[in-house]
Amino acid sequence: MCGIVGIVSHQPVNQELYEALTVLQHRGQDAAGIVTYEGGRFYLRKDKGLVRDVFQPEHMQHLRGTMGIGHVRYPTAGCTSSAEAQPFYVNSPYGIALGHNGNLTNAELLKQELFLQDQRHINTDSDSEILLNVFAHELQRLGKLRLDVSDVFDAVAEVHRRCRGAYAVTAMITGFGVLGFRDPYGIRPAVIGHRDSPQGPEYIIASESVALDVLGFKRLRDISPGEAVFIEKNGRLHSRQCAEHALHAPCIFEFVYFARPDSVIDGISVYQSRLRMGEKLAEKILRLRPDHDIDVVIPIPDTSRTAALELANRLGVKYREGFIKNRYIGRTFIMPGQQLRQKSVRRKLNPIDVEFQGKNVLLVDDSIVRGTTSKQIIQMARDAGARKVYFASASPPVRYPYVYGIDMPATSELIAHGRNEEEIQRFLGADWLIYQDLDDLVEAVRRCNPAIERFETSCFSGEYVTGDITPEYLERLSLCRRGPKKDDPPAEAANTDNLDLHNSL
């Protein structure tokens, strides 16, 4: 997952973009970037690393202007090199910068079309560079020296026609304004916020509403599936539905794991949806074992805390913080490379023995994907003296690859693929393993906004909402994501291959 933001203000935006990216950091830890605009020029700083490492005071000073966009990256295509950090830039037409959250499922075909028909060169393996070039080509085709807003919306309509998969986007056109749009299924989130200033209205577009909260913007609404919004640099807001057929099906994994609990996505409080996941899971436990012998409920920090708390309340069992998380280590699931993920779990979580000794503990996590966390944690609980170790997952078994912006492309990596629950329980070494049912998960999330009739649930159900995912595509994806490309290139190479707009400093 990645995080995107765009701001049009009457004051310099560099600091606010930086702050927005720090509260979106949980969506991508591999690279970060900001592009601002002033006086006919873009100013760019992007590199591998966390937001706090990428932007030093001297970079911030050079990010001039009152409008800009930013991005934090978790790669799902290409590699982790700084050349694929975002925003991407093209000089023609007009000068456009773009940040993308999601994953295009017809990237190979588009790349060929761009080369053979549109005569555009793509210099990286990133699907986001492809998306930017499709948009740029569609604007260029209009052949206009001066754009108006309807031209921008026409180009987005063509993007919808050509691109498949998931995309939430912020883009900026030199001298003109900031654009935001979502794919016709609204798989990835994007919200728009507003703020008054003495010089007139100011706007923000961001992946999650938490970015609005910290910067003092009021949430106007989510961008609708297929819709585009454009904010001119003087603060005028325009919007248009650009997709012929839009069907809202937001990704349910945002609510399970990705988003921050204090965000509201598509009218649904992530926090409340997680409380309900805990409630539903407790009901299932009570149904299956009314006379259970659980002494204590312990969350696997951080994400499962909210669900575990409500689960314990419903069971009437004590909730205890049995694992302490090292706050200086990031999220392990979105780290690149299984070896790194494996090592990080033990370094990140340390048990408090007294909460385990002689007790039947129920460990709760939001999800079990590769099993990296759960297998080690169960052993840690035993080593800490637990009598029995039960394990509950607030979401169902992850059995199918994900193609819309989460890096789990190979079925062979998924612990639940080809295993039934008993086999998974044995593999993980738990005394009892309880998974949430998919209907209960959907119900838990949907209750806050019943107008949403469908969710993107492919990793649990195998049903891909875009309808274009074939077994051959999945096979190719798994092969190319499993190769050595996935891991970092040598450090020297990583800094020499950036042919993009030159960093301003």
Ligand X SMILES: O=P(O)(O)OC[C@H]1O[C@H](OP(=O)(O)OP(=O)(O)O)[C@H](O)[C@@H]1O
Ligand Y SMILES: NC(=O)CC[C@H](N)C(=O)O
* Residue 305 binds ligand Y, judged by CB under 6 A: no
* Residue 374 binds ligand X, judged by CB under 6 A: yes
By CB under 6 A, the residues from 20 to 39 that bind ligand X are none
* Residue 253 binds ligand X, judged by CB under 6 A: no
Stretch that binds ligand X, among 87-95, 164-172, 325-333, 483-491 (CB under 6 A): 325-333
x/- map, 181-200, Mg ion, by CB under 5 A: --------------------
By CB under 6 A, the residues from 97 to 156 that bind ligand Y are 100-103, 126-128
Query: Do the beta carbons of residue 133 and residue 118 sit within 8 Å?
Result: yes
Cα distances from 84 to residues 179, 195, 212, 335, in angstroms, run 21, 32, 27, 16
Indicate which single residue of 176, 217, 333, 402 sits in contact with ligand X (rule: CB under 6 A): 333
Give residue for tokens 């993308």: 100
* Residue 393 binds ligand X, judged by CB under 6 A: no
Indicate which single residue of 59, 73, 182, 314 sits in contact with ligand Y (rule: CB under 6 A): 73
* Residue 367 binds ligand X, judged by CB under 6 A: yes
Cα distances from 132 to residues 3, 74, 270, 287, in angstroms, run 17, 18, 30, 51
Indicate which single residue of 84, 208, 366, 407 sits in contact with ligand X (rule: CB under 6 A): 366
By CB under 6 A, the residues from 282 to 321 that bind ligand X are 300-303
> How would you write 34-56 as a 3-class SS string?
EEEEECCEEEEEEEECCHHHHCC
Stretch that binds ligand Y, among 95-103, 169-177, 281-289, 490-498 (CB under 6 A): 95-103
Which of the 8 DSSP states describes residue 498? -
Q: Which residues pair with 31 in a beta bridge?
A: 48, 73
Cα distances from 78 to residues 303, 455, 483, in angstroms, run 27, 27, 11
Measured CA to CA, the distance from residue 375 to residue 349 in angstroms comes to 13
Query: Do the beta carbons of residue 171 and residue 66 sit within 8 Å?
Result: no
Strands (E), 132-246: 165-173, 177-182, 191-197, 200-206, 218-222, 227-232, 237-241
CB of 51 to ligand Y, least distance (A): 16
Alpha carbon 219 to its chain's center: 19
Cα distances from 166 to residues 109, 249, 464, in angstroms, run 16, 11, 11
State the DSSP H helix or E strand holding residue 386, giving kind and residue range, or none if neither.
none
Indicate which single residue of 37, 42, 43, 74 sits in contact with ligand Y (rule: CB under 6 A): 74
Q: Rounded to the nearest 10 degrees, how much is the dihedral formed by the CA atoms of 303, 31, 104, 163?
A: 120
Measured CA to CA, the distance from residue 407 to residue 395 in angstroms comes to 18
CB of 452 to ligand X, least distance (A): 23
Total residues binding ligand Y (CB under 6 A)? 17
Q: Which residue, 173 or 334, is less far from ligand X as judged by CB?
A: 334
Q: Which does 299 bind (CB under 5 to 8 A by kind): Mg ion, ligand Y, ligand X, none?
A: none
Which of the 8 DSSP states describes residue 217? P
Indicate which single residue of 68, 186, 226, 405 sits in contact with ligand Y (rule: CB under 6 A): 405
Closest residue to Mg ion, based on beta-carbon distance: 303
Q: Which residue, 366 or 500, is less far from Mg ion as judged by CB?
A: 366
Indicate which single residue of 84, 254, 355, 365 sits in contact with ligand X (rule: CB under 6 A): 365
**Coil, strand, or helix at residue 327?**
coil
Indicate which single residue of 9, 14, 29, 76 sits in contact with ligand Y (rule: CB under 6 A): 76
**Coil, strand, or helix at residue 207?**
coil
Q: Which residue, 243 or 416, is less far from ligand X as judged by CB?
A: 416
Total residues binding Mg ion (CB under 5 A)? 1
**Coil, strand, or helix at residue 102?**
strand
* Residue 369 binds ligand X, judged by CB under 6 A: yes
**Does 366 appear as a known binding residue?**
yes
Q: Which does 371 bind (CB under 5 to 8 A by kind): ligand X, Mg ion, ligand Y, none?
A: ligand X
Stretch that binds ligand Y, among 53-61, 70-78, 271-279, 427-435 (CB under 6 A): 70-78
State the DSSP H helix or E strand holding residue 442, giving kind and residue range, or none if neither.
helix 438-446
Stretch that binds ligand Y, among 54-62, 71-79, 227-235, 321-329 (CB under 6 A): 71-79
CB of 325 to Mg ion, least distance (A): 9
**Does 365 appear as a known binding residue?**
yes
Residues belonging to the active site: 2
**Does 439 appear as a known binding residue?**
no
* Residue 46 binds ligand Y, judged by CB under 6 A: no
N- to C-terminal Cα separation, the chain? 27
Measured CA to CA, the distance from residue 137 to residue 128 in angstroms comes to 14
| Binding site residues, ligand X, CB under 6 A | 257, 300-303, 331-334, 365-374
| Binding site residues, ligand Y, CB under 6 A | 1-2, 73-78, 84, 100-103, 126-128, 405
| Binding site residues, Mg ion, CB under 5 A | 303
Binding residues: 303, 365-366
Binding residues for Mg(2+): 303, 365-366
